[in-house]
Amino acid sequence: MHCPACGQQQINNESKFCSRCGLPLSTVAEVVAHGGYLPQLAQLAEMNHKKPFFSKRNGVVFGVMWFIFFTMFSTAVIGILNGPEEMMAMFAVTGVFGAMMIIIGSLVALPSSKPPVFIANAVPTKSDQLNPASAQSALPPQQSQPVGYYSAGVGNWRDTNDLEPSSVTENTTRLLEKDESH
């Protein structure tokens, strides 16, 4: 294991402090052993997770209660009291379609009431920690190129040192003079 502060490679993975800078490594070893997170923090987050009042579950329960109240209870009470049939029909329609809209709206728009789930990445095994050769290296091996690789190219190359800088106007004038003389 390497120290995250100074990069010093440790003699063994059970070191409590870095041999160069003194950083406490016990927490770093625990984070590595648990796949990149501390289980204590996950438990603390689950304990502190406050369930929202407006959640999908509560919305569905409210939609079912709405349906029961308007469709079954209210229409029965209006029928027993000899109320107008239009009012019974209005309560029944309000109960059915209102409950459907509440349930669909809560499932689409409201947050879940379940606490967040912390999924650990692949937890390293003890054999990977004890045998660093079995674990894959973070960086590729160093590569070097021989000096001859950077030599000048071989082939039909033109030497550009003999070219004289000339202006566009001089070249155009020379071409015009040739045309006039012919």
Q: Are the C-beta atoms of residues 61 and 106 closer than 8 Å to each other?
A: no
15-34 confidence digits (pLDDT tens): 778 878 887 777 777 777 77
Which tokens go with 180?
Answer: 């006039």
Q: How many CB atoms lie within 10 A of CB 173?
A: 11
Q: State mean pLDDT over 117-139.
A: 54
Predicted local confidence at residue 122, as pLDDT: 47
pTM of the model: 0.39
Tell me which residue of 171, 12, 66 sits closest to 1, measured CA to CA.
12
Does residue 125 or residue 153 have the better pLDDT? Answer: 153
- pLDDT at position 154, please? 61
pLDDT digits (tens, 9 = 90+) for 155-170: 666 666 666 666 778 7
- The enclosing H or E element of 98 equals helix 85-109
What's the rounded Cα separation, in Å, for the pair 37 and 24?
A: 17
